[in-house]
Structure 1
């Protein structure tokens, strides 16, 4: 893979700024910043919606003359001139995530802890939300030994169950919060990847599907069976996607994570290497919708292939009973669907599996030589086309198509819908 480029460090992230925010967070005006070290937390192309910066601070206080040291993460938007910013801003993702960390997540965490009875974290603590600079400072969970699982190896059953358990609590807390505070999710929580307001991702999705179609020319069997079907999906991808995220009367809906895949989950482990907790990060696409979209997205991008292809009904069942139990604990007053009805709801959102597995998963698993970035996915120039073609020409991606395409076809998801 080519040498990763690094996003520049924000110019406004100065010693005075950090000292002011830490004084407010720690409620100590005597805090004095002694040292500030700033460096990019991730390379360009490893996070597709924002810029991540890690800051290491040394400070003293009146109470403690010895230097104290800790780390924080700073999340900021892309610069206005970045082509990705023009797509992402239409979805309201930056203001939404700031609202999540400042207003929503603390309330949900309290519900999970005090009513569901789970004292474990569900998100990283917020140090500061700065709406003027579109930035969030939050705790660096590496200090508590939280780790992101390998996006290439994906998650086994033990990790998958852990995520589904925490997701059920997240969804239950969102549902009861909306019940108690009417209208809390009314503004800016209706713009997921598919919505009725913008089709900003349409060029990205169509460009990826066209690259997939071109890649089928390398395999005569796949070309003969699926190329015409993929070409037809290109013309209907937004219609089918919007239909799959339209809420119908009687559906159970709640606050969803919206972008739940391997690198947006962090795990904590015991001494034997077993996961003891999972927390979610990156809430830019959190949206009021069916929890089924989180399940499809997660299954299609983040779990072992044998689980994805053969175990989804039982994984939905596992999640459902965790959700039902959590909803009862928070005394949710709305109707709780039966498992049968929820399985039907999951089936009705199944085009989300086409979107996630054929368009986003190859991007998420890319380990080739081209620079991986949202800018490259948007670009229709030579470099952008070369990158998208390379996504589907990777050996792993080509092998996976022999399983994924038949699986989707058997559900009728590649035919007219």
Structure 2
């Protein structure tokens, strides 16, 4: 995978500014940055909403005998002139993620540790939140040998169970926090990919569905069976998406991750290669919603085909058992649905799986040579059309569609609902 960034690192990321932030973080005014190395932190196609930069810092203090070294990750917004910047600002994702790291995640980590009894790390430690520059600096978890699993190979059952276990605790602690601090999620936690405030994502989503329709020309059987359905779905996508992301009376709701897929989970392993912990990163789209938007999104984008196509009810049950156990330890007093009710609610939100599978999943497995960016998706230029077509016409996606379209169609998710 090419290690090239679509966007450059921010100009303010200088030795002087990094030094100021590290003095606060380490609580040592004598700290002096001797050398700062800046590198891209992600490759092409791995992130469309922000700039991720890795900084290697060599520094000294009055107490240090020799220079010390540290590595951090810096997450910043897209440049103001980037067409995607205005789009994402309307969804409030930058201020929300800063709020998450500054205000919410520390509370959740305490609840998980003290009430649930989970000693393993839940999130990356926060070094600095700079609202003026719309930036967050985190600890670099690669130093603790955390790493992201392959987004093309997807997650096996062992990895999937670990993610669901941690997700259940994340959701349970979010529900408990809302109960203990009423109103904490009232502001800026209501704008996910589908919401009642803005439809700015509509052009992106429908442009991708149109590219999907064009790709069906490569397979006459798929074209005959599904092209008319996809073409009709283009006009209904936002309505159905908003319906699937609406919390109905009686639904269990909590703080969701909102963008839970392979590259937003990092794993730590034992000496035999078995995953021992999973932590979540990237909370730009965290919203108060049904946990099923996380489950459908995760299942549709991140787990191996056999699990996705044949084992989802069992995976929901595994998640549910962990959720109930965590809620009881947190002394949650709200309504906890039965497993039967839970499975019904999961199925009622299933259009979210159609959206995730057909619209976003292709961008997540992209490995082509075209520039991967929101601007390319929005663009109607020849280059933009070529990029969108390449998302769906790859050998990987053509194989994915062979199983995914019939899977969704059997539940009526491609028909008028």
Which moves more between the two structures, 241-250 or 61-70? Answer: 61-70
1:32 and 1:61 in contact (8 A); partners too: yes
Do the aligned partners of residues 20 and 2 (structure 1) sit closer, same or farther apart at CA in structure 2, a change above 3 Å counting?
closer
Do the aligned partners of residues 3 and 260 (structure 1) sit closer, same or farther apart at CA in structure 2, a change above 3 Å counting?
closer
- Inter-partner Cα distance in structure 1 for 2:6 and 2:344: 45
- Inter-partner Cα distance in structure 1 for 2:121 and 2:344: 31
Provide the residue aligned with 1:384 in structure 2. 384
- Give secondary structure in 2 for the equivalent of 1:375: helix
Q: Which runs of 4+ in 1 moved over 4 A?
A: none
Over residues 55-111 of structure 1, what are the superposed CA-to-partner deviations in whole Å (9 max), with x where a residue is unaligned? Answer: 111222233232111101110000011111121111000000000001100110011
1:2 and 1:371 in contact (8 A); partners too: no
Residue ranges of structure 2 left out of the alignment (5+ in a row)? none
1:247 and 1:290 in contact (8 A); partners too: yes
Do the aligned partners of residues 402 and 128 (structure 1) sit closer, same or farther apart at CA in structure 2, a change above 3 Å counting?
same
Provide the residue aligned with 1:308 in structure 2. 308
- Give secondary structure in 2 for the equivalent of 1:186: coil
Which moves more between the two structures, 59-68 or 77-86? Answer: 59-68
1:45 and 1:374 in contact (8 A); partners too: no
Provide the residue aligned with 2:177 in structure 1. 177
> Residue 187 of structure 1: CA displacement?
0.6
Provide the residue aligned with 2:64 in structure 1. 64
- Inter-partner Cα distance in structure 2 for 1:67 and 1:370: 41
- Inter-partner Cα distance in structure 2 for 1:299 and 1:256: 15
> Residue 317 of structure 1: CA displacement?
0.2
- Inter-partner Cα distance in structure 2 for 1:360 and 1:40: 23
Which moves more between the two structures, 52-61 or 69-78? Answer: 52-61
Which moves more between the two structures, 104-113 or 213-222? Answer: 213-222
> Residue 145 of structure 1: CA displacement?
0.3
- Give secondary structure in 2 for the equivalent of 1:147: coil
**Does residue 1:249 correspond to 2:249, yes or no?**
yes
**Does residue 1:118 correspond to 2:125, yes or no?**
no
> Residue 7 of structure 1: CA displacement?
2.3
Taking structure 1 as the reference length, the TM-score comes to: 0.98
2:45 and 2:363 in contact (8 A); partners too: no
2:3 and 2:43 in contact (8 A); partners too: no
2:6 and 2:371 in contact (8 A); partners too: no
2:5 and 2:40 in contact (8 A); partners too: no
- Inter-partner Cα distance in structure 2 for 1:21 and 1:181: 30
Provide the residue aligned with 2:348 in structure 1. 348
Which moves more between the two structures, 110-119 or 44-53? Answer: 44-53
- Inter-partner Cα distance in structure 2 for 1:259 and 1:167: 12
> Residue 20 of structure 1: CA displacement?
1.2
- Inter-partner Cα distance in structure 2 for 1:242 and 1:91: 14
- Inter-partner Cα distance in structure 1 for 2:334 and 2:404: 36
Over residues 104-131 of structure 1, what are the superposed CA-to-partner deviations in whole Å (9 max), with x where a residue is unaligned? Answer: 0011001111111111111100000000
- Inter-partner Cα distance in structure 2 for 1:3 and 1:186: 39
Do the aligned partners of residues 46 and 253 (structure 1) sit closer, same or farther apart at CA in structure 2, a change above 3 Å counting?
same
> Residue 41 of structure 1: CA displacement?
1.7
1:30 and 1:61 in contact (8 A); partners too: yes
> Residue 39 of structure 1: CA displacement?
2.2
Which moves more between the two structures, 155-164 or 207-216? Answer: 207-216
> Residue 2 of structure 1: CA displacement?
8.0
Residue ranges of structure 1 left out of the alignment (5+ in a row)? none
Do the aligned partners of residues 45 and 403 (structure 1) sit closer, same or farther apart at CA in structure 2, a change above 3 Å counting?
closer
- Inter-partner Cα distance in structure 2 for 1:138 and 1:370: 30
Provide the residue aligned with 1:270 in structure 2. 270
- Inter-partner Cα distance in structure 2 for 1:386 and 1:370: 8
- Give secondary structure in 2 for the equivalent of 1:148: coil
> Residue 4 of structure 1: CA displacement?
3.7
